[in-house]
Structure 1
Amino acid sequence: MKDAVGQALTGANAQALDLLEQGLHQFRCLNGDPLASAEAALAAAPELVMGQVLKAWLLLLSTEAPALAPARAALADAQALPHNAREALHLRAIEALCKGRWHEAGRVLEDLSCDYPLDALALQAGQQIDFFTGDARMLRDRMARVLPDWSAALPGWHAVLGMYAFGLEENGDYRHAEQLGREAVALQPQDAWAQHAVAHVMEMQGRRREGMAWMRDNAGWQQGSFLGVHNWWHLALYHLAEGEHEEVLALYDGPINGPHSTIVLELVDASALLWRLQLAGVDVGARWATLAERWAPHAASANYAFNDMHAAMAFACAGREDLVGELRAAQALALRSADDNAAFLREVGQPATEAVLAFTAGQYRRAGELLRPLRSHAHRFGGSHAQRDLLDQTLIRAASAGGDAALARALLSERRALAEQRAAQH
């Protein structure tokens, strides 16, 4: 049996195929519950290898430590089944990521896409890995390589356009990124990743009022999207840059934090927004305390360095020294590992975390000393340009508060020049 683009599937039947395609579509749009669809497909066909593959990717790409055990179980179940060459490459990549080898997993998926360019799941998982490892070039080029094999006649074309749009944006090709992102949303209004790619373009170019309209006028991403919190966060950034702090707080208290999510990637957005508000001089009240409580179960995870830094913000600002201690101990242990996260921590994550803690403690000179060396390679612990801008904003504030007026002035001049350069590309 074959999938919607003609790729062979092992262990499929008609019912399972429909459910698998549903789950893949949901994942491409970041909408609905693709994990439930994968489970339903496996219930219909227990030997469906790609059902286990989809399940494993969904778990692993959450970056949450508790997801590792069920992901490993899905991998073991799939490895015990007959599988074809394409499925075997997925399993190799999943096994690498289960062992914390992010770069190896991305490289296996790169090879998979060379041989099977119509495998949209491999492209999507690969781009997410590129994002988590900060590989901007591959964010773009992973998609560019397969474009000749794709067309509007194939299901998933909108997702390929949206992913390529994001890769282009992260490489500074704003005009082309916006064009493709808009085209993808026009084809599939629920494509939250494509919506997000255009939001990034407008953030980078300072087109805040346009960005507000883009996010508010297109409702497809606002219902049932598991990228919804992140996209609301982008809307909040536009309002924050315009000094509309009450609107930002309303967004935080509403769609960003109102559901009291315990999903780590959504906790990251909440921390990042409160931190930016504080940098702008806004009193956020007791919000840090409640956020720290939801971060607490992850204090000892040290599963992904980028997450740790955002957890540290909540713990430090809430005065939770106990949780700060847990996080530091977990990072120290993780640094002794042989996996890629040890490098993420060593190169960026641990000094960035310590800078956050120093800044919160009023040790502005120390925060600046820790942050300055990171600027040229901060991408190595993942995130987008928009997310990592928090480090630059913190450095500017640390320089100013620490009495280094010359450095603060130089950094602000640099920032204005870059903003003008980006805006000129519109």
Structure 2
Amino acid sequence: MTLTDLHGHALTGATADSLDAYEHAQRELRCYIGDPVASVDRALAASPGMTMAHLLKAWLHLLGTEPGGLDVARACCEAAAALPATERERAHRHAASLLSAGRWRDAGHALEDLSLRFPRDVLALQAGHQIDFFTGDSRMLRDRIARALPAWQRGMPGHHAVLGMHAFGLEETGDYVQAERQGRLAVEQEPRDGWAWHAVTHVLEMRNQPREGIAWLAPHEATWSDESFLAVHNRWHLALFHLELDEVDEVLALYDRGIGGPGSSVLLDLVDASAMLWRLHLRGAALGERWQALADRWAAAGVPGQYAFNDLHAMVAFVAADRPREQAAVIEAQRAAMALEESDNAGFTREVGHPAALAVQAFGQGDFARCCELLRPIRSRAHRFGGSHAQRDLIDLSLLEAALRGGDPVLAEALAAERVALRPHSAPAQRFLARSRPLGRAV
């Protein structure tokens, strides 16, 4: 008899033991906690012929954007191809194979079709949601999940994850009221759901409510950080709230305790470390040897040129640490990436990642006019290389600071006014405006 998952989907080749380990891996992934790779490996040890276990392992290695993940994912897809499979399992294999070939958008479309047929397949929704995030498709971040909502109700396994994903999609499309409501409902159902905590955090960031953000995250850190993939990222958000309140010492303490200081070599954690130190760097904060330690980890992490968003954050570290050889390696890898037309990353890099990396390099060289020249055309299309609104603010902050430092005084005043309009109660935004006015047009 073919066993099924908690939502009735057939699982080819599953045994009772492999099914238990597989469902444990699924629960870990839905909350972004624990070690789902170890759990799915237990499933495969119990039943090497369990098709979906191979495919779950492929997704786990694809969605981390780690350099070594592609080879593992391809091997998993090949193993699954040699096994019997249902229609749903074949659709997963097809989508994962597309992503392992660098075809991000085609993989997202394939998962979209899968979810239309199987709206309670949480893995398909979650993988698609992450692809939408990595490709900057904010509308699909929301709508992929909204389409599935009628098939779900409270009490179903994984319902919290669907609500948390919907909350993040709503936030990225500007519906902050509904986003906060969905995110809080998700956390109420499953307090360990790191993505739902993250979705509400984004709402408070975009509303420029730093005190509310600290109140949301700080008292509950043990809940959302324990064994969580998102512990570093949610601490990054907590540090952003403190930075908005000019509490730089607290930001540095958070960095040293739980963002960059622990020395993680996970690329997504390195991105957060670069993004936080760069914001402090733009403010002129004394950062000591933190940049050198971070640059060392970026240099050891793997070959650049696989995902443009990561490349930019590697370049940030190499520029701030004054590592010209590593900077040149990023630029060369990006040029090679742009030549691979069959890979979507060629477009991510050409449209946003490469000019952004060159702009950061120009900033480091004191060529602020060149930095402005490179960043101005891409700031309105920066979503095309992934990330969230909060993460891509690094580009706007860099452009504004470059303009203030001499790149374009008139532009500086305009950008500062724009920021104040978005964040009228923000002390940092008001300081930008005060700094710009002596430089720009006469009032």
What TM bracket, shorter-length normalisation? over 0.9
Return the alpha-carbon distance in structure 1 between the equivalents of residues 261 and 362 of structure 2: 29
Matched, 1:144 2:152: no
The residue number in structure 2 matching 1:280 is 283
The residue number in structure 1 matching 2:91 is 89
User: Any idea what SS the aligned residue of 1:189 has?
Assistant: coil
- Aligned residue type for 2:379: R
- Aligned residue type for 1:277: L
Return the alpha-carbon distance in structure 2 between the equivalents of residues 330 and 349 of structure 1: 11
Matched, 1:163 2:153: no
1:34 to 6, 24, 36: 36
Return the alpha-carbon distance in structure 2 between the equivalents of residues 297 and 341 of structure 1: 21
Which residues of 2 match residues 11-160 of structure 1 at below 5 A? Answer: 11-160=13-162
- How far apart are 1:403 and its partner, in Å? 4.9
Return the alpha-carbon distance in structure 1 between the equivalents of residues 204 and 22 of structure 2: 35
User: Any idea what SS the aligned residue of 1:374 has?
Assistant: coil
- How far apart are 1:415 and its partner, in Å? 1.3
The residue number in structure 2 matching 1:388 is 392
Return the alpha-carbon distance in structure 2 between the equivalents of residues 361 and 174 of structure 1: 39
Residue by residue, what CA displacement relative to the aligned partner does 1:345-392 show, whole Å, maximum 9, x if unpaired? Answer: 000000000001101111100000000000111000000000001100
Return the alpha-carbon distance in structure 1 between the equivalents of residues 283 and 205 of structure 2: 17
User: Any idea what SS the aligned residue of 2:377 has?
Assistant: helix
For structure 1, list consecutive stretches of 5 or more residues without a partner in the other structure: none
- Aligned residue type for 1:301: P
User: Any idea what SS the aligned residue of 1:401 has?
Assistant: helix
Matched, 1:418 2:415: no
TM-score, L = length of structure 2:
0.94
Return the alpha-carbon distance in structure 2 between the equivalents of residues 195 and 300 of structure 1: 32
- How far apart are 1:220 and its partner, in Å? 1.6
Structure 1 residue ranges (4+ consecutive) displaced by more than 4 angstroms after TM superposition: none
Contact 1:97 1:105 in 2 (8 A): yes
Size of the aligned set, in residue pairs, is 422
For structure 2, list consecutive stretches of 5 or more residues without a partner in the other structure: 427-443
What is the Cα-based RMSD across aligned positions, in Å? 1.2
Matched, 1:292 2:288: no
TM-score, L = length of structure 1:
0.97
Which residues of 2 match residues 133-212 of structure 1 at below 5 A? Answer: 133-212=135-214
The residue number in structure 2 matching 1:324 is 327
- Aligned residue type for 1:350: H
- How far apart are 1:334 and its partner, in Å? 0.9
- How far apart are 1:301 and its partner, in Å? 2.8
Contact 1:300 1:329 in 2 (8 A): no
Contact 2:62 2:70 in 1 (8 A): yes
Structure with larger RCO (C-alpha < 8 A, sep 6+): 1
- How far apart are 1:420 and its partner, in Å? 4.9
- Aligned residue type for 1:337: L
62-71 or 390-399: bigger deviation: 62-71
Matched, 1:373 2:381: no
Return the alpha-carbon distance in structure 2 between the equivalents of residues 217 and 247 of structure 1: 15
Contact 1:202 1:208 in 2 (8 A): yes
- Aligned residue type for 1:275: W
1:301 to 290, 299, 304: 304
Return the alpha-carbon distance in structure 2 between the equivalents of residues 12 and 132 of structure 1: 31
- How far apart are 1:14 and its partner, in Å? 0.9
- How far apart are 1:298 and its partner, in Å? 4.1
Contact 1:200 1:386 in 2 (8 A): yes
The residue number in structure 1 matching 2:405 is 401
Return the alpha-carbon distance in structure 1 between the equivalents of residues 144 and 394 of structure 2: 27
Matched, 1:350 2:354: yes
- How far apart are 1:283 and its partner, in Å? 1.4
- How far apart are 1:416 and its partner, in Å? 1.6
2:317 to 314, 319, 325: 314
The residue number in structure 2 matching 1:252 is 255
User: Any idea what SS the aligned residue of 2:322 has?
Assistant: coil
Residue by residue, what CA displacement relative to the aligned partner does 1:258-284 show, whole Å, maximum 9, x if unpaired? Answer: 320000000000000000001112111
Return the alpha-carbon distance in structure 2 between the equivalents of residues 150 and 95 of structure 1: 28
Residue by residue, what CA displacement relative to the aligned partner does 1:215-255 show, whole Å, maximum 9, x if unpaired? Answer: 11223211110110000000000001110000000011111
Contact 2:67 2:303 in 1 (8 A): no
Contact 2:55 2:77 in 1 (8 A): yes
- Aligned residue type for 2:326: L
- How far apart are 1:421 and its partner, in Å? 11
Return the alpha-carbon distance in structure 2 between the equivalents of residues 299 and 405 of structure 1: 39
Seen in structure 2, the aligned counterparts of structure 1 residues 411 and 51 have a Cα distance that, compared at 3 Å, is: same
Residue by residue, what CA displacement relative to the aligned partner does 1:324-344 show, whole Å, maximum 9, x if unpaired? Answer: 111111111111102000000
1:243 to 236, 241, 246: 246
User: Any idea what SS the aligned residue of 1:117 has?
Assistant: coil
User: Any idea what SS the aligned residue of 2:375 has?
Assistant: helix
The residue number in structure 2 matching 1:8 is 10
The residue number in structure 1 matching 2:273 is 270
- How far apart are 1:82 and its partner, in Å? 0.4
